[in-house]
Amino acid sequence: MKISRRAFIKTSSAVAVASAFSRVAQANASITPDDYKALVVVFLNGGNDAFNTVLPAPGTAEWKAYRKVRGTVALGRKEIFNSQCKGIYPSSSGSVLSLDDLYLNKHLVALKPYFKKGDASIILNSGPLIQPTDRNNYDYVAKPKQLHSHNSQRKYWYHGMDVVNKNGWIGRILDNFDLEGSSARALSPSFGIPSINALRGDRYNPIAYKASTKSSEVGVKQNQLEGYKGADRLKESYEEHLNKRKRHYSNLYSRTVSESMRDSEFNNARLKELTGDYSDPDDLEYDDSDMIANFESVIALMKANRENAKGDLGYERQVFFINMGGFDTHGNMKERHPELLTTLAEGLDYFLKKLEDENLMKNVVTTTMSDFGRRLSPNDNGTDHGWGGHQLVFTHRDNFMYPNTAVGVWPEVGKKGRNVTDTQRVIPTVCSDQVNATVSRWLGCNEEQLNTVFPELKNFDDVMIEGSEFTFDELVVPRPEVAYTDDGGETMTEPHPLYWDFLKS
């Protein structure tokens, strides 16, 4: 279904790889914003075990099903805490829903204050989908290719369901914006830390970089070359391509690499200066935390952008895509997963506090994404690749359409649950493009632009549980009234049309 025109959505760092900063001539940018908004994506590389991150309330039927199917990796009541975010729970018939608390892994406890204030929410069971899918139609509906493969599923999160497009969905969204003075700026409005796949577009070339910690260095490190026979030649080649600026290479590859390295080094110095100027000297104790270093550089670039430091920035929109690795927990999950969640929570807590300090919470949406969730049944002490998973979202509570209420429906799992395959992989109930379209609408895109970037949206309607007549029970989560002006100029109201829209404009 098309997104209704009346749908109301409360709408550095060391450069690690060569990055191009030239602007390509843009076609048809039509949005000229006059406010500041930023999107921050934290991509949990490897496939986060979402079902040991967000959990059903103890004592519910869903909790019993969770404990049974998770076996050796199941968490107990003392290993979770109440998020105070309500979730919609289905019945086996799909006709009656109930509302109950959702719980979080105790290693995310640093995020508890944001959930308590309503500055955080949960997107339940999202993932790549071509059309609504469940156990009943699984064998004959179109499904994403190479399910459960890291590279294939990341492509859907990076590019949207339109994976044949060489550009990322965020890059294609930014292509619609005519950002003030962008043609004269030296730096980009989008930054990948370090991946830029989702950010590639035709108008703004993203910058890929790796945030610096106190102990990090730029360039070729001697300890990385120990034992390598060609170490001396590699270092010599690196220095030659970087420093011999007047040398003209006859070989196109060498010439391109040399130019890219020089551009990268030049802009590395610029980014390092910018992030250094706007970093908080009181944060020195965090200097060896990679995640906090990433968020520190994001905050610094936001502050530099606000003041248009050295004329390099000054954009009305910024996007940051942070990669955090290590989530492919095939083994040793009970030890490794808590460490990862602790690192994630500490980084997000640091970042959100800084946003509050800078009075930017209303201007920034931060969301997690991941390749996929994990398979529900364990493989002894770990979990294999799955499909659907839960995501966390953070912004000021005034931006949420349903404060303190999760988006979507808790999946029906169990042995023959409608949202699980025979191999205990959870089938998403919210398409990843629905999530991406919501944040894109918040950034300022209109219906036509969203349907161009996310053509598969037309396959999804407002049925919360596919196959049932149920759409949205106002006794469970009342839909807010949406005001709009009809063709005669009269102001009208109607219920919010799409349950999966979770942000206001």
CA-nearest of 403, 195, 214, 229 to 296 is 214
Residue 410: what residue type?
W
The lowest-confidence range among 147-156, 210-219, 332-341 is: 210-219
Q: Which three-class secondary structure string do you get for 86-144?
A: EEEEECCCCCCEEEEEEEEEHHHHHHHHHHHHCCEEEEEEEECCCCCCCCCCCCCCCCC
Query: Residue 365 forms beta bridges with which residues?
Result: 39
Q: What is the pLDDT of residue 308?
A: 75
Q: What is the pLDDT of residue 237?
A: 59
Contact by Cβ (8 Å): 249, 233: no
Q: What is the pLDDT of residue 418?
A: 83
Q: For 222-238, how does the pLDDT look when each residue is reduced to its tens digit (9 = 90+)?
A: 444 444 455 565 556 55
Whether 240 has a pLDDT exceeding 80, the answer reads no
Q: What is the pLDDT of residue 246?
A: 45
Whether 486 has a pLDDT exceeding 80, the answer reads no
> Mean per-residue pLDDT for 418-445?
91
> Mean per-residue pLDDT for 327-335?
92
Whether 375 has a pLDDT exceeding 90, the answer reads yes
Cα separation, 158 vs 162, whole angstroms: 10
Cα separation, 55 vs 97, whole angstroms: 17
Beta-carbon contacts of residue 49 (< 8 Å; ≥ 6 apart): 73, 327, 329, 333, 337, 373, 374, 383
Query: What is the rounded average pLDDT for all residues in the chain?
Result: 78
Structure-token pair, residue 498: 């799409």
- Share in percent of the chain as helix, strand, coil (round to 5): 35, 20, 45
Which among 77-91, 123-137, 333-347 has the top mean pLDDT? 333-347
Cα separation, 89 vs 63, whole angstroms: 11
Cα separation, 59 vs 455, whole angstroms: 41
Higher-confidence position of 432 and 250: 432
What CATH number belongs to 13-217+237-495? 3.40.720.10
Angle at 374 between CA 503 and CA 429, to 5 degrees: 40
How many residues can be counted in the chain?
A: 505
Q: What is the pLDDT of residue 280?
A: 72
Q: For 437-454, how does the pLDDT look when each residue is reduced to its tens digit (9 = 90+)?
A: 899 999 999 888 998 999
- Asked whether the bond before 194 is cis by omega within 30 degrees of 0, the reply is yes
Whether 482 has a pLDDT exceeding 70, the answer reads no
Cα separation, 130 vs 138, whole angstroms: 12
Higher-confidence position of 194 and 395: 395
Return the H-helix or E-strand segment holding 305: helix 290-306
Whether 495 has a pLDDT exceeding 80, the answer reads no
Higher-confidence position of 11 and 170: 170
- Measured in whole angstroms, the distance separating CA 98 from the mean position of its chain's CA atoms is 28
Pairing state between β 37-44 and 364-370:
parallel
Higher-confidence position of 423 and 7: 423
Q: For 60-104, how does the pLDDT look when each residue is reduced to its tens digit (9 = 90+)?
A: 889 999 999 999 999 999 999 999 998 888 755 444 567 789 999
Structure-token pair, residue 66: 């969770």
Confidence at 373, pLDDT banded by 50, 70, 90: very high
Confidence at 211, pLDDT banded by 50, 70, 90: confident
Confidence at 49, pLDDT banded by 50, 70, 90: very high
Contact by Cβ (8 Å): 430, 134: no
Structure-token pair, residue 439: 């944040």
Q: For 8-45, how does the pLDDT look when each residue is reduced to its tens digit (9 = 90+)?
A: 223 222 222 222 222 333 445 578 898 999 999 999 99
Dihedrals phi, psi of 81, to nearest 5 degrees: -140, 155
Q: What is the pLDDT of residue 40?
A: 97
Query: Residue 369 forms beta bridges with which residues?
Result: 43
Cα separation, 302 vs 318, whole angstroms: 8
Measured CA to CA in angstroms, residue 307 lies from 101, 304, 314, 463 at distances of 42, 5, 7, 45
The lowest-confidence range among 54-63, 344-353, 461-470 is: 461-470
Cα separation, 472 vs 462, whole angstroms: 8
Cα separation, 149 vs 326, whole angstroms: 16
Confidence at 47, pLDDT banded by 50, 70, 90: very high
The lowest-confidence range among 104-113, 171-180, 365-374, 398-407 is: 398-407
Query: Residue 420 forms beta bridges with which residues?
Result: 426
Q: What is the pLDDT of residue 255?
A: 62
Beta-carbon contacts of residue 189 (< 8 Å; ≥ 6 apart): 174, 179, 182, 204, 313, 315, 317, 318, 319
Measured CA to CA in angstroms, residue 428 lies from 63, 312, 478 at distances of 19, 41, 23
Contact by Cβ (8 Å): 149, 429: no
